Structure 1
Amino acid sequence: MLPTELLSHRQNGEEIIPKRLKIDDKNLALANELISCFQAAMGKTQGELERLLSDLEGDATDYRVKRGLAYILKSSFCTFEVVSPLEPQILRERVFALAAKSVPSHESTQVTLSKVADELSQELEREILLEQVRSGLYADLAENKILTAFDAPPAVDLLNRYNLSQVQGIFYKASQLVLNAHRNVPGEYKLLFRYLKLFQLMAYIEGDADHGFTITVDGPTSLFNPSTRYGLAIAKLIPALLHVTKWSLSAILQTRDVYTDTWKTGRFTLNSECGLVSHYSKGKPYDSMLEASFADKWDALKTDWVLEREVDLVPIPGSVMIPDFRLVHPDGRDFLLEIVGYWRPEYLQKKFSQVRRAGRDDLILAISERLNLEKAGVKLNDVPARIVWFKDKLLPKAVLAVID
């Protein structure tokens, strides 16, 4: 996604309209020109690439567009690596220690670098040249990293990614997002809900698969301390939403006027006819780190219980639950496992209300000890679920203990 300084939008009343590039010959030519610039920089330093981009940018008025397209290419399609005969910090220590034994001069520097090159050639059993030592000394600086791989995208894909990034940037300062997912294929709902969980968004889900769902997502500016990181998580949801056939959303935005140092309210709407293109796979997204860690530990455990990650939606009155895992035993028993991590009080109240309404006797709740349930007004004495408490990591043995 694009950083804030490369976002462009205009405001019509309260409506915020992000800049989008037309997929026409002019912009396709610009995209191809940038892609060719990166291809020409293969094997060169990032500093050399930046100089090529600066020359291409020139004094044109569309410099922000060029910088935005270049940023996407660098962050999503390039691999920059440190190329040095030895880890640069260790190499510097070695060269400086040897150099300290002689009077500084151009000749002594050459002798020092040559001697280090000879020593490394013997140690590594391959020829190390003096110039390799010289370039490797500060190879860990960003401008000295080498462009070792460039997976050049088609020009149209680059323009589509730019347009999507401009829209995603709108949500960095969202205070609330209301999403209506209309009647769709159940699998599309499931994928969307899994991305909600993946990005750890505080979402309130109401509705059912037959009539559609209304999903309310708290934005970063609604938290006690506005979080850019949480705004990025909301922005990451948008490409997943594009895989849903029919939807619409509205967002309330809090934007800061740099001239008056005041906050202004803006609005943004989007729907499934927006023409944006997703670069996300329709396949299964990765689990969160907490879930992945739990699954890895389970795989290493010797137990008859099988851990399944594919869990169907659990309908409850007016809403739906998406458990993280299902535990299945060969004798026919099974349990649903829901991990409750760090959330704000209103979300916890809604979550436990859902658990009560579900009325499931096969549900296990794994709850972080970091949560202040008392402050959130949550009581567990009437929750129809088995409870597992955990600190930083959820251990499989603790889950098996409440089953037994």
Structure 2
Amino acid sequence: MMEALLSIFIFLISYLFIMLEKVNRALVALTGGVLMLITGIYDWNDAFYSFIDWHTITLLFSMMLLVSITQRTGFFEYIAFKMAENVRGEPVRLFITISCLTAVSSALLDNVTSVLLFVPVLLNITRMLSLPAFPYLLGVIFSCNIGGTATLIGDPPNIMIGQAVEHFTFLSFIIHLGPVVILIFAVNLALMLFLFRSRFQSANRMDINWENLSEGYNLKKTPLLYKSMTILCLTITGFLLHPVLHVDLTTIAVSGALLLLLLSDKDLDTEEIFREVEWLTLFFFMGLFILVGGLETTGVIDEIAKGIIWLTEGDLPKTAIMILWVSGIASGLVDNIPFVAAMIPVIREFQDFGMLNLDPLWWSLALGACLGGNGTLLGASANVVVAGIAASKGEGISFMKFLKYGFSVVILSLFISTIYIIFRYLIPFSGSLTRAYF
């Protein structure tokens, strides 16, 4: 009991300092993690082998290397210019275009990879057109988390649920989550356009001389361009073929990064490439994983999951809605991966107590965990990555400023999801929804 209270105290204090932003986020998270170790909540072996998600860290590291090398060819600047030219610098059209591209990319790839590819391009566009970066960065974060909800590989919670439920296929996620994701994305897009209408209207870029401007955004047609583009395309293709190849996403990313480093060794200084990696972002993730691991070790997350069952008394409709909202709110405060890991065995136990149709619970968990990531700057891996890249370019996103918009987006998303779950699963199939008695 004392260990649980201590882990909660350390987590809340660390979270408070992260919100206040008086000290570097990575330092706060790592300090909180070390305090968990000093107080004996767990040891280094647990921290390194159980709680730090090295797959996520390595995937991020590999994609940062790929993007860093490709960026030296002028490719991202060129794409940024062409995108801006295509919409003629019109802020609203640009916002809609980048949001749609991010959402689709996050559904086909994973959301972290998507933001690593799009954010450098986006920052180049906003700088080029003297537009405020914040609305567009916010649009990318919200779009990637919403878009990633639609498929099995889009967000880690979906991958975990897909592995836990044998009859769920890649197509199952698209059929069951795709319709509500499209609706939520459209509503979110309209909401963002309304909230930032004054910033978009005040920025008129129709008078730009695109022909003269294009001279500064030409591709550097060197061997490095063809090498980096080939490897980048092969890596993305590997992500898309992940369900067929049965090769881990991290393995694909590492292979792509190492191959490009080997091929570009004579063109670039490898040590300089490694220095350009967003190390603060990676160490922040490590600290955050260790912090949340303390809550997992002391059973705090598991107690939250069991509390849901106790409150709903095993009634499936109530349980489905509560799982949706609790996972949505919880995923905004802590990383959604350990919460989903704790919920999976709990949901499986429901079948032993008389529930014949568990699918509404699985879809509620997927929607809540993925969409809830938009709640705070720490709610999803993609959020932290975007914030790290933006900060390195002088476009930092504050925790409270993000919360102001993110909380509203999550509440609206969960409300729409609630209606969807009720009308698609709970009303049409009410005859098969059996109460579980404890």
**TM-score between the two structures when normalised by the length of structure 2:** 0.20
The structure that has the greater radius of gyration is 1
**Which structure features the higher share of strand residues?**
1
**TM-score between the two structures when normalised by the length of structure 1:** 0.21
Q: Which has the higher contact order (CA 8 A, sep 6+)?
A: 2
